[in-house]
């Protein structure tokens, strides 16, 4: 399974799938604030990571989430090692790696349970320009497609006898050239095709655009938003008055 499998929307009938995108956006922002700004302790960061695991388990998307988190663990390990080399603080290095994993896990939960069309509807309702909204939605859709194309290229090169397994960092970079060149060409071709498709459908012809998705929050959505804001604001307040976590 591709590492980007946990960053693309999957249809489902769980509570998170049915939930309005607005409280999910607020929840992700709250997790970002808590993990990046408020919490410094490894224990609290582990609690946040465990919370995201509970959410993705409730959404029945644990397998796809794990595919993305395996790559995130490698990147987190690199971040931790670099921090330790330059700063020499082991606990801070572990915390930085965990912080990165919490951020990736939170975005994975959001991406797996929220359709790009719903996010676009929220952006339009919030007053974002239509062109920016479409560009954002298409970038979300392109990410898993490019990840799958990269995997297809790797499989094709391996079938031709190309060996990418090496521990030499310089040779590793050289080995990725036969992967990156066709991937860049394919991405440019897809972008050109998408542009032509938009033009043939009259994109930009009118400024009065509408959305077929109803993103108006319900009472339950507003309650969840308020609870998330209260919890996040409480910990931010404790941080500001000098109580560390």
* CA distance linking residue 72 with residue 64, whole number of Å: 13
* CA distance linking residue 91 with residue 111, whole number of Å: 30
Of 22, 9, 26, the C-alpha closest to 61 is 9
Cβ(3)–Cβ(68) below 8 Å: yes
pTM for the full model?
A: 0.79
By CB neighbour count within 10 A (0-12 exposed, 13-18 middle, 19+ buried), where does 32 fall? middle
Residues of the chain with pLDDT under 70: 1-3, 164, 166-170, 172-173, 207-214, 244
Question: In this predicted structure, what is the pLDDT of residue 104?
Answer: 94
Write the pLDDT tens digit of every residue in 187-237.
888 888 888 888 887 777 776 666 666 677 888 889 999 999 999 999 999
Question: In this predicted structure, what is the pLDDT of residue 1?
Answer: 54
* CA distance linking residue 141 with residue 56, whole number of Å: 20
Question: In this predicted structure, what is the pLDDT of residue 9?
Answer: 85
Write the pLDDT tens digit of every residue in 139-153.
777 777 777 788 788
Question: In this predicted structure, what is the pLDDT of residue 7?
Answer: 80
Cβ(114)–Cβ(14) below 8 Å: no
Question: In this predicted structure, what is the pLDDT of residue 153?
Answer: 84
Of 146, 123, 125, 145, the C-alpha closest to 134 is 123
> Phi-psi category of 85—alpha, beta or left, where left has phi over 0 and alpha has psi -120 to 50?
alpha
* CA distance linking residue 177 with residue 104, whole number of Å: 27
């Amino acid at each position: 399974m591709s590492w980007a499998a946990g960053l693309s929307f999957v249809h489902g009938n769980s509570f998170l799938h049915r939930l309005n995108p607005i409280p999910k956006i607020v929840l992700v922002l709250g997790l970002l604030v808590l993990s990046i700004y408020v919490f410094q302790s490894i224990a609290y960061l582990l609690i946040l990571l465990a919370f995201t695991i509970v959410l993705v388990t409730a959404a029945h998307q644990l397998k796809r989430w794990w595919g993305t988190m395996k790559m995130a663990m490698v990147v987190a390990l690199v971040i931790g090692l670099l921090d330790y080399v330059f700063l020499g603080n082991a606990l801070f290095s572990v915390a930085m790696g965990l912080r990165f994993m919490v951020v990736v896990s939170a975005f994975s939960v959001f991406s797996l349970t929220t359709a790009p069309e719903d996010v676009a509807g929220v952006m339009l309702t919030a007053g974002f320009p239509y062109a920016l909204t479409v560009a954002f939605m298409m970038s979300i859709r392109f990410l898993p497609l490019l990840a799958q194309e990269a995997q297809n290229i790797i499989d094709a090169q391996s079938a031709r006898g190309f060996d990418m397994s090496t521990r030499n960092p310089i040779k590793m970079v050289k080995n990725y050239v036969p992967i990156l060149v066709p991937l860049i060409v394919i991405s440019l071709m897809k972008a050109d095709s998408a542009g032509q498709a938009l033009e043939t459908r009259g994109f930009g012809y009118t400024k009065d655009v509408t959305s077929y998705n109803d993103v108006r929050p319900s009472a339950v959505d507003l309650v969840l938003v308020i609870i998330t804001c209260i919890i996040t604001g409480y910990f931010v307040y404790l941080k500001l008055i000098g109580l560390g976590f």
